């Protein structure tokens, strides 16, 4: 459940900063406590009437700090197990720091959503399990507060003397997602102990005589695997303390305890999770075709009935080379049958597929029809993507849509529990940053959470809306639960996202981030549902970007790659470098760059929404350092894009470095401390394809995409 919680916190902070502009040096700060001790990870929502303004979570010291415009606001403070606190009429003065401390009180009744999603049914006729819920008040009134003794209050439970049973060796320990590791340096999360260990204070918890690894324990909504071992203290910024697995908070009990297989983790904040991205479309000739030839994907193609082989890339520009965005494109065979439909992206590119759902080769010649301003344009005798782009130039004005749709599809089953809070924090940080880079765009946001058949719900959704506060409030009320078998209801969630949302009729980008750690169910009916959703997503111009969390398996990885390729999207995967969550598989890629997840998502959104100026120049906007006072937005320009023989990079001032990477993540050109002037970069020897320009300035990385074509 922690994985879902981490994602939700990241996503909440990501949304919280959208559409907000604030006056420098005007802050609201404060301390949130339970009356005596600070609360780490408490959620602060700032409202103006019914309108959501900004949000954040408290840090390790229980402190919060929010940059606001002068005015009068209402505050809503929430924390799991505590009553929501609402404070009205908080006056924030311009140019000064206003302080508002908050003391929260325990809730005698747990929030209904949390209870129903975390609780074990107390009586089920066909189940050989039992369950019990202890509220915060009940726990507080217990004579002792160690985790072992709390768990032992369940009917039929007791402790077993450690001497009566030898501790299993590491090789005998049950396998799980979270792997054992030695305590790491203070700056990294550490694992309490090895998975499967089940001893605490000389005893083991046992329910009705069953093995400890056969029982499930839930503390504050977190599922504990394999019993409850002792926690090891860690050092954080020179302070040694035991840490709670859910939010990384210091435990105040005299007998701290923690779950086997759960990782000690810092309080959720943006920039903790690490990830990589791999785009198989950008690595078609030098990677994907080799994988197809090696037969590495044969079993997965057969399993899901996806055969991404016959690809046709279309590039549409006007007579001056300006990309024509969001134009409908249809792929037809010689019998005039429509084989695939798509829309051009912000670079004027569309991805078309022949025979995506059949192993049989589709014979040519094939042609493409492009609809612009009510007129059809035709490209005949298409060449496959391995041989280059099929380019079309038309006489049309320089113009592009201004709307952006972003939709989040989130696996909310119990297995997502180890990363969800962090993911939530990361993603809520991202959207405001992306918006600040392109303030003239109009954003809409929505989300759907899904579980599986037989769970409390199959899907829950918040529709696409310009009112971001609706999405924020919805996400706050979602938690992990259910599931159990590995496959989940992915097909139902995609159907909800693609067919039941009112996607913009005209948009510069429609992006669907799919966050999951398990595959869909298998079978012909499920496959057809997935195929239908992916085909419709491509037709509508929805670019699907899967984000693979810990626990993902190879069949799911390749299916997510299929989704990304078919819809002109990409593939994002969390990595082990953060030390957060369970084990992440090594992705099927060549070299890739490890980035903070929030930076990576900002980059993707920026790349999908940035378009050339009418003078044919692409922009890279410099993001202001959040620790410094806001200043005017500066930008670098590069042109032409696409480029053939050379391109020009126009820098407004000296930067630390400029590095250009090919699609495989290899540096092909670098400038150290380039001056603020025009830099002409030759392209001799560069292969056709996409390149990433990354500019390092004041410790912040900005990026843009360059397309290289060969005449």
More reliable by pLDDT, 496 or 703: 496
Residues paired with 391 in a beta bridge: 315
User: Taking a C-beta distance cutoff of 8 angstroms, is the pair 120, 207 a contact?
Assistant: no
User: Taking a C-beta distance cutoff of 8 angstroms, is the pair 390, 429 a contact?
Assistant: no
Q: How far apart are CA 428 and CA 476, in angstroms?
A: 11
User: Taking a C-beta distance cutoff of 8 angstroms, is the pair 658, 620 a contact?
Assistant: no
How far lies 11's CA from each of 42, 436, 691, in Å?
Answer: 15, 17, 29
CATH, domain range 615-708:
2.60.40.3080
Structural tokens at position 439: 């303030």
Mean pLDDT lowest for which of 348-352, 558-562, 627-631? 627-631
pLDDT at 361 over 60: yes
Position of tokens 């000739």?
A: 285
**Terminal CA-CA length for the chain:** 53
Name the CATH architecture for the domain at 274-279+401-608.
3-Layer(aba) Sandwich (3.40)
CATH, domain range 294-394:
2.60.40.1120
| Cβ contacts of 402 within 8 Å, gap of 6 or more | 440, 441, 442, 508
Residue 201's pLDDT is: 36
Assign 12 a pLDDT band (cuts: 50, 70, 90).
low
pTM over 0.75: no
| Cβ contacts of 41 within 8 Å, gap of 6 or more | 9, 57, 58, 79, 246, 247, 248, 249, 267, 268, 421
Q: How far apart are CA 403 and CA 442, in angstroms?
A: 5
| Cβ contacts of 397 within 8 Å, gap of 6 or more | 318
pLDDT at 69 over 70: yes
Residue 245's pLDDT is: 32
pLDDT at 128 over 50: no
For the ranges 21-25, 41-45, 414-418, the maximum mean pLDDT occurs at: 41-45
Q: How far apart are CA 573 and CA 89, in angstroms?
A: 43
Q: Do domains 7-103 and 615-708 have the same CATH topology?
A: yes
Residue 262's pLDDT is: 40
Average pLDDT, the chain: 75
pLDDT at 263 over 70: no
User: Taking a C-beta distance cutoff of 8 angstroms, is the pair 222, 264 a contact?
Assistant: no
pLDDT at 197 over 80: no
Q: How far apart are CA 86 and CA 176, in angstroms?
A: 41
What is the percent of the chain with per-residue pLDDT over 90, rounded to a whole number? 38
Residue 172's pLDDT is: 37
How far lies 484's CA from each of 214, 372, 454, in Å?
Answer: 14, 49, 10
The DSSP 8-state label assigned to residue 672 in this structure reads E
Q: Is the dihedral of CA 380, 386, 392, 398 positive or negative?
A: positive
Q: Count other C-beta atoms under 10 Å from residue 229's C-beta.
A: 25
Residue 107's pLDDT is: 62
Assign 51 a pLDDT band (cuts: 50, 70, 90).
confident
More reliable by pLDDT, 168 or 616: 616
Average pLDDT (348-375) is 95
Nearest to 497 by CA among 601, 563, 570, 407: 407
Q: How far apart are CA 325 and CA 307, in angstroms?
A: 27
> What are the residue boundaries of the structural domains of the chain, listed by start?
7-103, 121-215+226-241, 274-279+401-608, 294-394, 615-708
More reliable by pLDDT, 227 or 73: 73
What is the percent of the chain with per-residue pLDDT over 70, rounded to a whole number? 68
Mean pLDDT lowest for which of 101-110, 162-171, 443-452? 162-171
Omega of the bond prior to 568 within 30 degrees of 0, cis? no
pLDDT at 130 over 60: no
* Topology adopted by domain 7-103: Immunoglobulin-like (2.60.40)
Structural tokens at position 369: 């029809």
| Torsion angles phi and psi, residue 106, rounded to 5 | -60, 140
Q: How far apart are CA 174 and CA 200, in angstroms?
A: 18
| Torsion angles phi and psi, residue 542, rounded to 5 | -85, 115
pLDDT at 182 over 80: no
More reliable by pLDDT, 535 or 109: 535
Residue 158's pLDDT is: 43
User: Taking a C-beta distance cutoff of 8 angstroms, is the pair 312, 370 a contact?
Assistant: no
Structural tokens at position 283: 């690595």
Omega of the bond prior to 128 within 30 degrees of 0, cis? no
Structural tokens at position 192: 């309490």
Residue 292 in 3-state DSSP?
helix
Mean pLDDT lowest for which of 71-75, 249-253, 335-339? 249-253
């Amino acid at each position: 459940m922690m994985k879902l919680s981490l994602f939700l916190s990241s996503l909440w902070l990501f949304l919280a900063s959208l559409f907000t502009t604030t006056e420098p040096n005007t802050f609201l700060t404060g301390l949130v406590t339970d009356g005596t001790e600070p609360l780490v990870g408490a959620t602060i929502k700032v409202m103006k009437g019914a309108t959501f303004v900004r949000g954040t979570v408290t840090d390790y010291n229980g402190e919060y700090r929010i940059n606001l415009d002068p005015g009068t606001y209402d505050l809503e403070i929430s924390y799991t197990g505590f009553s929501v606190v609402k404070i009205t009429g908080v006056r924030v003065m311009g140019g000064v720091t206003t302080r508002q401390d908050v003391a929260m009180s325990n809730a005698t009744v747990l929030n209904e959503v949390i209870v129903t999603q975390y609780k074990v049914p107390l009586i089920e006729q066909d189940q050989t399990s039992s369950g019990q819920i202890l509220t915060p008040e009940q726990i507080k009134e217990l004579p002792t507060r160690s985790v072992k003794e709390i768990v032992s209050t369940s009917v039929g439970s007791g402790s077993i003397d450690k001497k009566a049973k030898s501790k299993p060796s590491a090789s005998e320990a049950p396998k799980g997602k979270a792997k054992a590791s030695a305590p790491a340096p203070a700056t990294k999360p550490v694992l309490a102990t090895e998975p499967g260990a089940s001893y605490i204070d000389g005893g083991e918890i046992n329910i009705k005589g069953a093995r400890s690894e056969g029982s499930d324990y839930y503390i504050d909504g977190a599922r504990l695997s394999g019993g409850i071992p002792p926690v090891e203290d860690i050092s954080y910024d020179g302070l040694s303390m035991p840490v709670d697995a859910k939010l990384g908070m210091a435990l105040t009990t005299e007998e701290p305890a923690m779950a086997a297989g759960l990782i000690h983790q810092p309080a959720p904040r943006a920039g903790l999770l690490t990830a990589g991205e791999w785009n198989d479309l950008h690595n078609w000739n030098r990677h994907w075709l080799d994988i197809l030839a090696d037969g590495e994907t044969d079993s997965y193609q057969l399993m899901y009935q996806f055969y991404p082989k016959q690809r046709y890339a279309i590039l549409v520009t006007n007579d001056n080379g300006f990309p024509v965005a969001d134009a409908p494109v249809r792929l037809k065979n010689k019998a005039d049958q429509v084989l695939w439909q798509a829309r051009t992206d912000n670079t004027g590119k569309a991805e078309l597929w022949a025979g995506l759902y059949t192993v049989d080769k589709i014979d040519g010649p094939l042609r493409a029809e492009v609809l612009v301003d009510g007129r059809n344009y035709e490209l005949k005798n298409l060449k496959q993507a391995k041989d280059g782009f099929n380019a079309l130039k038309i006489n049309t004005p320089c113009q592009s849509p201004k709307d952006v749709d972003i939709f989040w599809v989130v696996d909310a089953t119990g297995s997502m529990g180890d990363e969800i809070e962090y993911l939530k924090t990361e993603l809520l940080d991202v959207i405001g940053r992306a918006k600040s880079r392109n303030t003239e765009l109009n954003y809409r946001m929505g989300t759907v959470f899904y579980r599986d058949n037989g769970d409390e719900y199959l899907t829950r959704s918040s529709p696409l809306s310009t009112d971001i506060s609706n999405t924020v409030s919805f996400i706050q009320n979602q938690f992990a639960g259910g599931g159990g078998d590995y496959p989940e209801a992915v097909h139902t969630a995609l159907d909800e996202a693609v067919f039941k949302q009112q996607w913009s009729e005209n948009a510069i980008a429609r992006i669907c981030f799919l966050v999951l750690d398990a595959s869909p169910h298998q079978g012909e009916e499920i496959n057809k549902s997935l195929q239908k959703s992916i085909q419709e997503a491509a037709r509508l111009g929805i670019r699907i970007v899967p984000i693979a969390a810990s626990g993902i398996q190879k069949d799911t990885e390749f299916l997510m790659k299929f989704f990304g390729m078919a819809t002109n999207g990409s593939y994002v995967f969390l990595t082990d470098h953060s030390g957060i969550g369970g084990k992440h598989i090594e992705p099927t890629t060549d070299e890739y760059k490890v980035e903070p997840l929030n930076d990576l998502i900002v980059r993707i959104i920026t790349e999908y929404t940035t378009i050339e100026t009418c003078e044919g120049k692409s922009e890279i906007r410099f993001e202001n350092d959040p620790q410094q006072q806001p200043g005017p937005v500066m930008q670098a320009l590069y042109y032409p894009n696409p480029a053939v023989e050379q391109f020009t990079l126009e820098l407004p001032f000296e930067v630390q470095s400029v590095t250009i990477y090919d699609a495989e993540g290899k540096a092909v050109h670098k400038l150290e401390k380039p001056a603020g002037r025009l830099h002409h970069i030759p392209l001799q020897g560069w292969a056709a394809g996409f390149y990433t320009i990354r500019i390092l300035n004041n410790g912040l990385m900005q990026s843009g995409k360059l397309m290289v074509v060969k005449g």
